[in-house]
A and B are shown apart, each in its own frame.
Chain A
Amino acid sequence: MYRILFVLITSLSILPSVGMAKEACASENQCIEMNNWDLGVAIGWGQKSNPLKDFDDIPLFFIPTVAYYGEHWFFDNGNLGYTLAEQESFTFNLVTSYSLDRAYFYRWDPSNIFLNRGTQIEAKAINNMSLSTEPEREFNSLETRNFTLLGGAEAFIYTRLGIIRLAYTHDMFNVHQGSEAQIKWTYGWDYDRFIFEFALVFDWKSQAVVDYYYGVRPSENAYWSEQYQAKSGWDKGAEMTARYILTDNWDLLLAVRYTLIADEIAASPLLDQDYSSTYFIGAAYRF
């Protein structure tokens, strides 16, 4: 059950550091001071749309940031990692992460920290007339979707045209026994006091992940439990973050993200949207 976690920890304790380059920090915005906590909070207004049927959108008032980087270990907003290789042109890390899918179901999922209200409401019967012969998409109380940590590896490739992230992680706690992968391209640039970052993201979720979060359990609806068969799929998204530096501690912040949910997931009767969009505008303070 904890085989992957064991392998991960064992690897960390026996593997030597491979090529740790000290000079590998290109610009101040991409750097962090080692052996020092980096804490900050952004205060403002934003919203994450919830693709789940009969679930509220998720308001955003606060976004915290917590990071600590040692010589090899790092903790960055919930992700724990260990750097095996750090070179000018690439980085290779062992890393943990968590799925963003659970955040649609639960307020206190790590992705939804500091939200002012829950996202789940009682399933409501919909009384509108339907010409379809299919039964209404009405569900009893949804069963628990447990939190889990994923563990795996990630690589960053640094090019003149941006940073490419390749990652593969697997469920470490036998919750759904699924895997996730990511291909992400990030391009950042500065102009005067503005800092921009743009990213294209492709997230792959295995059939086990899709089934665990978006599959319908028999107790929730026997008909749809039979009808919907989960398959693996790729979410596709774009992100943009813009910051304007006011002082050494204060930034103005605008962040937007749009995710087009994989067809295989959007086909789930639990969803009534095939996308999720997020925006946040506010002021960010770094301690």
Chain B
Amino acid sequence: MTLPQLSLLCFLGLSLGLMGPSSAQAKTRDAALKLTPEICITSSETEACDVYIELQWELAKDELICILSDNAAYPKWCSDSVSTHTLSMKIHTMTDIQFVMVSKDSNQTLAGAKLKITSASQPQVRRRYRNPWSLF
């Protein structure tokens, strides 16, 4: 197993831990990760999203953190100073990216944020009120 694959595996494990509703609530109570913007709209489904994003975080205590993503193009980044609370980067992607903030020392998951990619050309849908086969 290569290093990127191992990193991805670790990331998925961390993401699953973050997704659990009870643990997510407990862990995000004191730490928050804010992503701006959260949505990137492309003009077609085949077009990639190019956007500058900013990650901003708040912590319960001053500590160094690392930010991981589920996109191999954006490897793990760690802060060098406890006074750093933002990270900016240019994104080029066709799929959603999940970001996870972890403690640099304990590797404990602190918070997460997701960049959603959506296409303006996706068909609009609404509720259908009747079963298609209820005519008879």
Interchain CB contact under 8 A, B134 and A93: no
* Cα separation A78 to B134 with both chains bound (whole Å): 11
B135 within 8 A of A: yes
Is the CB–CB distance between A32 and B126 below 8 Å? yes
Does A33 reach chain B (CB closer than 8 Å)? yes
Task: List the B residue with the shortest CB-CB distance to A186.
Answer: B131
Mark interface residues in B96-136 (1 if CB within 8 Å of A CB, else 0).
Answer: 00000000000000000000000000011111111111111
Name the interface residues of B11-44: CB closer than 8 Å to any CB of A: none
Across-interface contacts of B130 in A (CB, < 8 A) = 67, 76-77, 79
Mark interface residues in A79-91 (1 if CB within 8 Å of B CB, else 0): 1010000100001
Say yes or no for A31: interface residue by CB 8 A criterion.
Answer: yes
Q: How far is the CA of A113 from the CA of B100 in the complex (A)?
A: 57
Which chain B residues border A77 with CB–CB below 8 Å?
130, 132, 134-135
Asked if A265 is at the interface (CB within 8 A of a chain B CB), the reply is no
**A63 and B135 within 8 A (CB):** yes
- Cα distance, A48 to B131, chains bound together (Å): 18
A64 interfacial by beta-carbon distance below 8 Å: yes
A247 at the interface (CB under 8 A from B): no
Which residue of chain A has the shortest Cβ distance to B128 in the bound complex? Answer: A32
A239: chain B residues within 8 A (beta carbon): 134
Q: Are the C-beta atoms of A113 and B135 separated by less than 8 Å?
A: yes
Binds B, one of A34-42, A124-132, A214-222: A34-42
A238-258 interface mask toward B, CB cutoff 8 Å, 1 = contact, 0 = none? 010101000000000101010
Given A77-B134, A280-B136; A156-B123 close (CB under 8 Å): no
Complex-state Cα separation, A245 to B20, whole angstroms? 31
| CB-based contact A69/B136 at 8 Å | no
A274 at the interface (CB under 8 A from B): no
In the complex, which residue of chain B has the Cβ closest to the Cβ of A35? B124
Given A30-B128, A32-B128, A76-B128, also A65-B123 (CB < 8 A): no
* Chain B contacts for A74, CB-based, 8 A: 129
Task: Report the Cα distance A255→B123, complex, angstroms.
Answer: 29
**Footprint of A on B, CB under 8 Å?**
123-136
Q: A67-B128, A255-B134 provided; 10 other pairs, C-beta below 8 A? A: A22-B126, A31-B127, A32-B126, A36-B123, A67-B132, A74-B129, A76-B128, A77-B132, A77-B135, A86-B127
Leading 3 A-B pairs by shortest Cβ distance: A32-B128, A65-B132, A31-B125
Q: Which A residues are closer than 8 A to B by beta carbons?
A: 22, 24-25, 30-36, 38, 40, 42, 46, 48, 60, 63-65, 67, 69, 74, 76-79, 81, 86, 91, 93, 110-113, 154, 156, 186, 197, 239, 241, 243, 253, 255, 257, 278, 280, 284, 286
